[in-house]
Amino acid sequence: MDRITGENVFMAVGIRDVARAAGVSPATVSRVLSGTPVDPAMRDAVLKAVETTGYRPNLAARRLRSRHTNTIGLIVADIRNPFFTAVSRTIEDMANRQGMRIILCNTDEDPAKEEAYLGLMEEERVTGVILAPARSTRKRPPRDFPTVLIDRTIPGEVFDCVVLDNISMADALVQHLVQRGHRRIAGLFGAESNTGRERRIGFEEAAARLGIAATSHAVPHADGEAAQVLHGILAGADRPDAIVASNGVMLLTVLRELRVLGLRVPGDIALAGFDNNDWMEFVGDGLTVIEQPVDEIGRTAMTMLAERIAHPENPARKVVLQGRLIVRGSSAAVDAAADMEAQSR
Name which of 46 and 86 has its Cβ closer to its own copies.
Answer: 86
**CA–CA gap between residue 62 and residue 317 (Å, rounded):** 33
How far are the Cα atoms of 200, 243, 254 from residue 336, in angstroms, in the given order? 28, 17, 22
Q: Which stretch binds its own copies (CB under 8 A): 38-46, 96-104, 164-172, 187-195?
A: 96-104
Q: How many CB atoms lie within 10 A of CB 325?
A: 16
**Which residues face 186 on adjacent strands?**
215, 243
Q: Which of 17, 42, 53, 93 is close enough to bind its own copies by CB under 8 A?
A: 93
Closest approach of Cβ 312 to DNA, in Å?
Answer: 19
**CA–CA gap between residue 136 and residue 318 (Å, rounded):** 19
Residue 174 interacting with its own copies (CB under 8 A): no
Residue 3 interacting with DNA (CB under 7 A): no
Q: Which of the listed partners (its own copies, DNA, none) does 16 bind, with a CB threshold of 5 to 8 Å by partner kind? A: DNA
Closest approach of Cβ 95 to its own copies, in Å?
Answer: 9
Q: Which of the listed partners (its own copies, DNA, none) does 83 bind, with a CB threshold of 5 to 8 Å by partner kind? A: none
**CA–CA gap between residue 25 and residue 22 (Å, rounded):** 8
**CA–CA gap between residue 242 and residue 207 (Å, rounded):** 13
Residue 58 interacting with its own copies (CB under 8 A): yes
Site for its own copies in 4-23 (CB under 8 A): 4-11
**CA–CA gap between residue 200 and residue 234 (Å, rounded):** 19
Counting residues that bind DNA (by CB under 7 A) gives 29
Site for DNA in 39-68 (CB under 7 A): 39, 42, 55-58, 61-62, 64-67
Name which of 40 and 142 has its Cβ closer to DNA.
Answer: 40
Q: How many CB atoms lie within 10 A of CB 211?
A: 8
User: Judging by beta carbons within 10 Å of its beta carbon (0-12, 13-18, 19+), is residue 29 exposed, middle or buried?
Assistant: buried
Q: Which of the listed partners (DNA, its own copies, none) does 209 bind, with a CB threshold of 5 to 8 Å by partner kind? A: none
Q: Which stretch binds its own copies (CB under 8 A): 40-48, 76-84, 164-172, 177-185?
A: 76-84
| Residue 263 and residue 234 in contact, taking contact as beta carbons nearer than 8 Å | yes
Closest approach of Cβ 37 to its own copies, in Å?
Answer: 19
Residues near 201 by Cβ (< 8 Å), separated by ≥ 6?
167, 170
Contact residues toward DNA (CB under 7 A) are 11-12, 14-16, 24-31, 33-34, 37-39, 42, 55-58, 61-62, 64-67
